[in-house]
Amino acid sequence: MRVFLVAGEPSGDNLGAALMAGLRTLVPDVRFDGVGGPAMAAQGLASRFPMSELSVMGIAEVLPKYRQLKRRIAQTAQAVAETGPDVLITIDSPDFGLRVARLVKAAAPQVRRVHYVAPSVWAWRPGRAAKMSQVIDHVLAILPFEPPLMRAAGMSCDFVGHPIVAEPLAGVEQAAAFRAAHGIAPGAPLVLCLPGSRRGEVARLGPRFDEALIRLRDRIPEIRVVLPTVPGVSDMVRDMVRRWPVPPVVVETGAEKRAAFAGADLALAASGTVSLELAANRVPMVIGYDMAPLSRWLIGMLLKTDTVTLVNLVSETRAVPEFLGRACQPGPMAASLHRLLDDPEARKEQLAAMALTMERLGRGGEPPGLRAARSVLAAAAGGVRR
């Protein structure tokens, strides 16, 4: 069996690597081709060009590279047409992957086309699914409520589990060691501050999160704050907390982040998949998010749900409090954080929603990479189009 994969972001690289491992388990002589990063390379993929060329976001970043990206789209589609794989799998990054799929459909319509990670049509722009169905045969969904939406648009779709359920978690010993290493008393409330992984998010949310946590510390002086961050924004994060009388702990390594999540009692986090990381670690949370005024207005006009937090959506509850747009203010967020520390029932409600979320995302079942592999095999055989 020959499989051509296209990933454009680190998250897609990880999804692709797990899928490749699953396919090799089921079809030992499978052969891989395509574009990916280091995780997929470790599974045997010789990427046709560096995946980093595709890891660009936003108009300002894309425009200078438009011609190069357009050339890479054409080159990738031509490679698929020339090699004639059994299946093409585009992984997330729809701006690149779906353009490749469209060219492949025209040049080599016999190649089955699979897209991994459904577009979030449940939140906004539902027309994306119908547009995708013009070039994609089958979708691998990572959220359990997505398959009916994809099928309604004309594609077959399987829920294959969310990658969060396969992520390693730190244990009690690592959490205790983390506290000891940073001088955090065993009984001191440990609060995570997660203002995002992009510079724009940190610039917009950081000062509000900062002020909310200072207000919380004024009410509960013994709390300690940890800021897990990434290299691209760590300088902004460190500048943000210089005025704190008790400096927060800033961590960047994967091991320390896992230990901090395992030992945390509470979190103030930007909206996004981090809510699932917190749920996996049973950390009660408050979510805050805001955008530039024009983006806020546009998203507000298009948004189809009354919540954007995945724990709320998957568990079909509203257990996680959200402060979005103009409501993303320090005072209300601080009060909500205090309630979660002070009210056992509020914590119990969130923990129940988190447990249900992780169950529905596939925890305890077959690994998502293997489930995705089974779905791909069915798609390649032509047995899933409905």
Q: What count of other Cβ atoms lies within 10 Å of the Cβ of residue 46?
A: 10
Distance of CA 322 to the CA centre of its chain: 18
The predicted model gives 69-78 an average pLDDT of 94
Residues 60 and 132 in one domain: yes
- DSSP letter, residue 9: S
Residues 6+ apart with CB under 8 A from 52: 37
Residues 287 and 370 in one domain: no
Residues 326 and 371 in one domain: no
Residues 121 and 76 in one domain: yes
Q: What is the pLDDT of residues 96-153, one digit of tens each?
A: 999 999 999 999 999 999 999 998 876 667 788 899 999 999 999 999 999 999 999 9
Residues 152 and 187 in one domain: no
Tokens of 118: 């459904």
Residues 198 and 276 in one domain: yes
Residues 239 and 122 in one domain: no
Structural domain contains residue 178: yes
- Structure confidence at residue 58 (pLDDT): 42
Residues 323 and 185 in one domain: yes
Tokens of 264: 């945390």
Structural domain contains residue 340: yes
Residues 129 and 224 in one domain: no
Structural domain contains residue 210: yes
- Structure confidence at residue 95 (pLDDT): 87
Residue 385 has pLDDT above 50, yes or no: no
The predicted model gives 188-209 an average pLDDT of 90
Structural domain contains residue 385: no
- Structure confidence at residue 301 (pLDDT): 60
Structural domain contains residue 166: no
Residues 6+ apart with CB under 8 A from 174: 255, 258, 259, 262, 263
Q: How far apart are CA 79 and CA 92, in angstroms?
A: 19
Residues 70 and 219 in one domain: no
Cα separation values, 323 from 279, 284, 334, Å: 18, 15, 11
Structural domain contains residue 386: no
From the list 155, 184, 64, 169, the residue with the least C-alpha distance to 384 is 155
Name the domain count of the chain: 2
The predicted model gives 34-41 an average pLDDT of 96
Residue 225 DSSP SS3: strand
Q: What is the pLDDT of residues 290-330, one digit of tens each?
A: 877 666 666 666 666 788 899 999 999 999 999 999 999 99
- Structure confidence at residue 53 (pLDDT): 84
Backbone angles phi, psi at 48, to 5 degrees: -70, -25
- Structure confidence at residue 63 (pLDDT): 59
The predicted model gives 26-32 an average pLDDT of 97
Give the model's confidence band at 384: pLDDT under 50 very low, under 70 low, under 90 confident, else very high.
very low
- Structure confidence at residue 179 (pLDDT): 95
Tokens of 98: 């779906």
Backbone angles phi, psi at 297, to 5 degrees: -65, -45
Percent above pLDDT 90 for the chain: 73
Cα separation values, 373 from 231, 299, 336, Å: 33, 35, 42
Residues 8 and 151 in one domain: yes
Residue 221 DSSP SS3: coil
- Structure confidence at residue 124 (pLDDT): 62
Q: Which of 28-32, 200-204, 234-238 has the highest mean predicted lDDT (pLDDT)?
A: 28-32
Average pLDDT of the chain? Answer: 90
Look up the CATH number of the domain holding residue 64: 3.40.50.2000
Structural domain contains residue 90: yes
Domain span at residue 87? 2-161+365-380
Residue 156 DSSP SS3: strand
Structural domain contains residue 204: yes
62 in Cβ contact with 87 (< 8 Å): no
**Model confidence pTM above 0.85:** yes
- Structure confidence at residue 230 (pLDDT): 82
Residues 53 and 124 in one domain: yes
Q: In what helix (H) or strand (E) does residue 90 lie, and over which residues does it extend?
A: strand 87-91
Instruction: State the amino acid at position 191 in one-letter form.
Output: V
Q: What is the pLDDT of residues 46-65, one digit of tens each?
A: 999 999 888 654 444 555 67
